[in-house]
């Protein structure tokens, strides 16, 4: 399987190295793209497969699987271009899909292409998928992050929130997944993934809490329905290169990749 990676930062680099080392003979990184050409060239030089560096359109034409690990600003467009060309695509910046996910999913069906959205830094999507076959009455995500992990978020800037002055737990945001993504596009892709897996962005409730006493990104999920109740809590260690990205997000993308290549599927 020829793989192209768009976005050669924390996640893109780790996935490229995983494919290069651990998936030898089954998958090969053949193309890279990044808005900052230096990042792509540096990564290419580290890989045994010496992938070509170039624009997104050329990458999509040349590979079997496109991996987006760049930004919610381009993820929707990348996914649309990939599936339109009949290519499979794994999207990390899931928040960028929310605006027009229905037409994107329809297009993928028509073009017989697959869209893969890894669970990222949350656990519980397996149960939620099963629960969808019965009635679901509620899906909520409560996220606790150290205040510095929310730096630069449009919601924080718009509301003039001084993160440095937060001395005890403070609820910054409560609302649906659409509004969570608008306010925190780089921090809360998990809300988008959870909502797309479950009852949709308009019905999925999200609470974001800044907590100065924690060092981990903590995501709690609650799902209620005819099946009963599901509660998960994931305490994520931030990745050393990018504190906004949990290490688990990288591991979950590796697992999704392995799942694409394996012939046995375990878990829902
Ligand atoms: N699904 C999840 O659970 C989850 C978890 C963590 C991060 N993410 C998302 O995954 C993406 C990658 O995360 P990361 O930690 O690797 O980020 P990062 O900042 O370490 O790397 C991003 C890379 O993409 C490049 N890039 C940025 N904008 C681009 C554009 N418009 N076109 C091409 N390249 C571009 C940057 O130059 C950089 O090399 C981010 O959007 C992040 O929000 C998703």
Question: What's the pLDDT at 214?
Answer: 95
> Is CATH 3.40.1260.10 the right assignment for the domain spanning 125-243?
no
Question: What's the pLDDT at 244?
Answer: 82
* DSSP E strand boundaries for the chain: 2-6, 28-33, 52-53, 65-68, 88-91, 115-116, 136-145, 170-176, 205-210, 217-225, 228-236, 238-239, 242-246
Contact 234 CB / ligand 1 (< 6 Å): no
Instruction: State the average pLDDT for the chain.
Output: 96
**222-239 core/surface letters (b: 16 or more CB in 10 A; e: else):** bbbbebeebebebebebb
**Claim: this prediction has a pTM higher than 0.75:** yes
Question: What's the pLDDT at 243?
Answer: 79
Ligand 1 pocket, mutate which of 14, 245, 246, 250 (most atoms under 8 A from CB): 245
Pairs from 47-53 (Cβ < 8 Å, separation ≥ 24):
47/16, 47/17, 47/20, 48/20, 49/20, 51/4, 51/5, 51/16
Please state the domain extents for the chain.
2-117, 125-243
Question: What's the pLDDT at 187?
Answer: 81
CA of 152 to the centre of ligand 1 (A): 15
- Beta bridge partners of residue 57, listed in sequence order: none
Contact 93 CB / ligand 1 (< 6 Å): yes
- Cβ burial of 167 (10 Å; 0-12, 13-18, 19+) is exposed
**CATH placement of domain 2-117:** 3.40.50.720
Contact 153 CB / ligand 1 (< 6 Å): no
Residue 149: pLDDT over 90: no
Residues with catalytic roles: 219
Nearest CA to ligand 1 atom 43: 186
SS3 12: helix
Determine the atom of ligand 1 nearest the C-alpha atom of 75: 41
Question: Closest Cα partner for 186 from 235, 124, 243?
Answer: 243
pLDDT digits (tens, 9 = 90+) for 91-135: 999 999 999 999 999 999 999 999 999 999 999 999 999 999 999
Contact 242 CB / ligand 1 (< 6 Å): yes
CA of 72 to the centre of ligand 1 (A): 8
pLDDT digits (tens, 9 = 90+) for 46-69: 999 999 999 999 999 999 999 999
- Using only the alpha carbons of the chain, give its radius of gyration: 18
Contact 8 CB / ligand 1 (< 6 Å): yes
CA of 205 to the centre of ligand 1 (A): 24
Contact 141 CB / ligand 1 (< 6 Å): no
Question: What's the pLDDT at 113?
Answer: 98
Residue 188: pLDDT over 90: no
CA of 77 to the centre of ligand 1 (A): 14
């Amino acid at each position: 399987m020829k793989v192209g990676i768009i976005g050669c930062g924390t996640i893109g680099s780790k996935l490229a190295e995983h494919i290069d080392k651990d998936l030898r003979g089954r998958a090969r990184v053949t193309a890279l793209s990044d808005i900052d050409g230096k990042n792509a060239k540096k990564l290419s030089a580290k890989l045994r497969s010496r992938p070509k560096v170039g624009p997104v359109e050329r990458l999509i034409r040349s590979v079997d699987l496109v991996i987006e690990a760049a930004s919610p600003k381009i993820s929707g467009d990348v996914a649309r271009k990939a599936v339109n060309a009949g290519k499979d695509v794994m999207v990390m910046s899931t928040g960028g899909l929310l605006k027009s996910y229905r037409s994107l999913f329809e297009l993928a069906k028509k073009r017989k292409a697959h869209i893969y959205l890894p669970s990222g830094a949350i656990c519980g999507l397996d149960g939620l998928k099963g629960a969808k076959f019965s009635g679901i009455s509620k899906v909520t995500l409560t996220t606790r992050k150290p205040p510095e992990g929310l730096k630069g978020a449009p919601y924080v800037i718009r509301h003039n929130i001084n993160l440095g002055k937060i001395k005890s737990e403070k609820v910054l945001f409560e609302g649906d997944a659409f509004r969570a993504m608008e306010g925190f596009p780089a921090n809360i892709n998990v809300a988008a993934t959870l909502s797309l897996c479950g009852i949709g962005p308009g019905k999925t409730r999200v609470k974001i809490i800044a907590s100065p006493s924690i060092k981990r990104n903590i995501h709690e999920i609650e799902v209620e329905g005819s099946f009963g109740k599901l509660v998960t809590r994931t305490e994520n260690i931030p990745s050393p290169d990018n504190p906004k990205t949990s290490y688990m997000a990288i591991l979950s993308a590796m697992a999704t990749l392995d799942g694409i290549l394996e012939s046995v599927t375990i878990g829902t």
